[in-house]
Amino acid sequence: MSPLLEARDLVRIYQTRRGLLGRPSNVRAVDGVSLKVRRGETLGVVGESGSGKSSLGRMLLGIDTAQGGAVYTNGKAMPVFGSPEWRSLRARIQMIYQDPLAALDRRISVAEQLREPLDIHRIGDSESRMARVHEVMLSVGLRLDQADKFPHELSGGQRQRVVIARALMTEPELLVCDEPVSALDVSIQAQVVNLLADLQHDRGLGMVFISHDLKVVRNLCDRVAVMYLGRIVEEGPADTIFSDPQHPYTQALVSSVPQPGRALKSRIILQGEPPNPGNRPPGCAFHPRCHKAEDICRHTVPETRSAGVECRAACHFAGHASLRELA
Amino acid sequence: MNNLVEIRNLRVAFDGVPVLHGIDLDVAPGEALGLVGESGCGKSVTWLAALGLLPGKASVSGSVYLQGQDLTGAPRQALERVRGKRVAMIFQDPSSALNPVIRVGRQIIEALRLHRGLAGTAAKTEALRLMDLVGIPDARNRFNLYTHEFSGGQAQRLMIAMALAGEPDLLIADEPTTALDATIQAQILDLLITLRHEMSMATVFISHDLAAVAQVCERVCVMYAGKIVEEGPVAQLFDTPRHPYTQGLFDAIPSLSGPRRRLVPIPGTVPDPRHLPTGCAFEPRCARARTFCTQHRPELLPQPEGRQLACAYPVPVAQDAVQPEEEYQ
Ligand SMILES: Nc1ncnc2c1ncn2[C@@H]1O[C@H](COP(=O)(O)OP(=O)(O)OP(=O)(O)O)[C@@H](O)[C@H]1O
Ligand SMILES: Nc1ncnc2c1ncn2[C@@H]1O[C@H](COP(=O)(O)OP(=O)(O)OP(=O)(O)O)[C@@H](O)[C@H]1O
Ligand code: SF4
Ligand SMILES: [Mg+2]
Ligand SMILES: [Mg+2]
């Protein structure tokens, strides 16, 4: 059976200009990304700011068109943005953004926000729409007396629940979540993450979970893709990525997460600055910051290779015993 | 009295709504103190009030001593001399403290002139030294750039360099890494730790990230709804949190190792300062609460093992994990 979502060699190029008179230059924000999401599976996407995670998310939904490559849902190619086929597909794949206030309409009540997708997609009559609103509210842990509230009358966690509820109204098969819990306190973040885990479990939802919070990703996601400068540099089961990362960037990323009780000294502190996508280093794009780089890294782009069970990594030394010895 | 800072019964209200309910807090010279708690619990307001940085509509009472000198009610000029010189503050968002239309080198030189009376080559040499110290690569050639020509992590470093210009005794870092990538966060935390040791400067580290605080600080204050609810050495609070809120905060941190697990949230949300519960402010969210808690607001009291705690039914100290949970009175 074809996967719920498949992306092949996606490319997204932005034209930017430095200053008013600067010459336009091309930035390859996403540079040949392939991935698969199966039904009921959550794929985490992590990586440095600017590595192309949000751009990738928008292409997966067809909101942004890819300049190269293709997206397939259930084996079928993504219809053209805005076409009737695309709209009906949009009922089945939904996006959740970081900022709930921006995603919600300040002027209308919770119940109206939730009913809107049903109105747009002309699903059911007004009675069944209201019943569905109540059902979904309860399933995300909102109280029915909150139906008449406006977004600003809710707490951050409650607002994010409304955003999730809204995305669930049309019974999607796939959710693309872009930093859905980043703006929340840990205590509230845990409420929302558990909610997403339940939805995935109970409804067999497929999910792409974009986040810079590695601790959340590890506990929620089945597989993880690590992005660096527009490419996936490592991908594999969450447990393996976090316990035995192969790519030096993943190693640094995982070790940089503060953990109470773990000494600071055991971390790999990366040297240098986050990379500039407009000025991609030759060879392995990570080499200027890499603690393991050797000569070959400076001129030869590493191929993505298998690095253990269901793992792949784009590093010249991935999967080699020598790398583990160095670590 | 050998504390650097002593805050006593600090209270703040906005438009008649109290948001800080009597904070008592000491900072010893050279120590690293963490301040944690959910959004809105008063972490920033505590220090903004202490340094006289709140807007005029805020009503502030209580006292703040800096090495014996009372800052509350001090004339504005005296406060301005203290800020930046003896106490420096860095914020989450560097753009709030850096001027986008002045070259960064000039900004640091200006801070050096203001706080240390340096000028000319001496100022420039010192500014370059500070940029090196905070890890700006190629400082000499980047001295004349504007802030937008630096990355977020570098802008944060520049703000730290500005803060260091006055050789402060106390550096208050308010969420200095929240907006940065994990790998850059680690660099900045590292820098703060190194600087603190090199300059023997006390640091107050404000963050919601309990894990980051546990790494950087020796002592932690946990705040909830405008009060300190538990205070003590990092290891003590981490190993045996006694306030149910502290325990809740630790439990909510997802782990990076061991079996994957469902996260443990704290139910509910922080109370609206306009409608605080009459008893313990945490009572509506607390699994240990009893009727007593709905009527009595617990005081922050010293405990035999050295910490301070404000809870009527704290989490028992597990002597032996297999023993049935004992009731505490
Ligand atoms: N509309 C746009 N026009 C020009 N450049 C863009 C645009 N959107 C994104 N970019 C650039 O593309 C690159 C990838 O951006 P993207 O937002 O996808 O990164 P991200 O991984 O989501 O980062 P973050 O973690 O900060 O959200 C960045 O260099 C960004 O500056
Ligand atoms: N200028 C202001 N006017 C009115 N209320 C304010 C102002 N500044 C802060 N408050 C209120 O004071 C309380 C404490 O705010 P404070 O900024 O200290 O929280 P915090 O603990 O720093 O939270 P965060 O983690 O979100 O930074 C909040 O209820 C907040 O809404
Ligand atoms: S290929 Fe080289 S530079 Fe790139 S991550 Fe691997 S070791 Fe580092
Ligand atoms: Mg993004
Ligand atoms: Mg704050």
Identify the domain boundary among B217, B252, B284: B217
Residues B191, B295, single domain; the answer is no
pLDDT digits (tens, 9 = 90+) for B153-202: 888 889 999 999 999 999 999 988 777 777 878 888 888 888 888 888 99
B212 has a chain A CB within 8 A of its CB = yes
Give residue B32's domain range.
Answer: 5-217
Residues B108, B194, single domain; the answer is yes
Residues B112, B159, single domain; the answer is yes
Give residue A281's domain range.
Answer: 5-92+172-326
Q: How many domains does chain B have?
A: 2
Residue A202 placed within a domain = yes
pLDDT digits (tens, 9 = 90+) for B85-117: 899 998 877 777 889 899 999 999 999 998 999
Of ligand 2's listed atoms, the one at least distance from the Cα of B42 is: 18
Show residues of chain B in contact with A214, CB under 8 Å. Answer: 182, 256
Residues B117, B39, single domain; the answer is yes
Residue A269 placed within a domain = yes
| Helix, coil or strand: residue B228 | strand
DSSP per position, A184-245: S-HHHHHHHHHHHHHHHHHH--EEEEE-S-HHHHHHH-SEEEEEETTEEEEEEEHHHHHHS-
Which of A216-230, A266-280, A308-322, B176-190: highest mean pLDDT? Answer: A216-230
Give the domain CATH number at A195: 3.40.50.300
Residue B329 placed within a domain = no
Question: What sign has the CA pseudo-torsion B233, B236, B242, B243?
Answer: positive
Residues B138, B81, single domain; the answer is yes
Is residue B320's pLDDT more than 60?
no
Regarding the beta carbon of B228 and ligand 2, being less than 6 Å apart is answered no
Residue B324 placed within a domain = no
CA B95 to chain centre: 19
B250 has a chain A CB within 8 A of its CB = yes
* Distance separating alpha carbons of residues A19 and A263, to the nearest angstrom: 44
Residue B72 placed within a domain = yes
Residues B98, B170, single domain; the answer is yes
Both tokens of A168, joined, read 């669930």
* Distance separating alpha carbons of residues A52 and A66, to the nearest angstrom: 13
Ligand nearest to the backbone CA of B46: 2
| Contact yes or no for A300/A316 (Cβ under 8 A) | yes
Residue A150 placed within a domain = no
Identify the residue whose tokens are 């940085």. B53
Identify the residue whose tokens are 């937008």. B148
How far B119 CA lies from chain A's nearest CA (Å)?
Answer: 31
Residues B158, B303, single domain; the answer is no
Residue B173 placed within a domain = yes
Residue B314 placed within a domain = no
Q: What is the 3-state secondary structure (H, E, C) of B14-56?
A: ECCEEEEEEEEEEECCCCEEEEECCCCCCHHHHHHHHCCCCCC
Residues B170, B302, single domain; the answer is no
Nearest alpha carbon to residue B262 among B254, B271, B272: B254
* Distance separating alpha carbons of residues A225 and A241, to the nearest angstrom: 9
Residue B88 placed within a domain = yes
pLDDT digits (tens, 9 = 90+) for A256-266: 888 776 666 66
Q: How many domains does chain A have?
A: 1
B269 has a chain A CB within 8 A of its CB = yes
Both tokens of B254, joined, read 């997802």
Q: Whose CA is nearest to atom 4 of ligand 1?
A: A14
The predicted structure's pLDDT at residue B319: 59
How far A219 CA lies from chain B's nearest CA (Å)?
Answer: 5
Residues B165, B125, single domain; the answer is yes
Residues B132, B40, single domain; the answer is yes
Residues B30, B164, single domain; the answer is yes
How many of the other CB atoms lie within 10 Å of CB of A175? 22
Residue B89 placed within a domain = yes
The predicted structure's pLDDT at residue A265: 65
Residue A122 placed within a domain = no
Residues B190, B242, single domain; the answer is no
pLDDT digits (tens, 9 = 90+) for B200-250: 899 999 988 888 888 889 999 999 999 999 999 999 998 999 999 999 999
Q: Whose CA is nearest to atom 29 of ligand 2?
A: B40
* ipTM score of complex: 0.81
**Through-space distance between the first and last CA atoms of chain A, rounded to whole angstroms:** 40
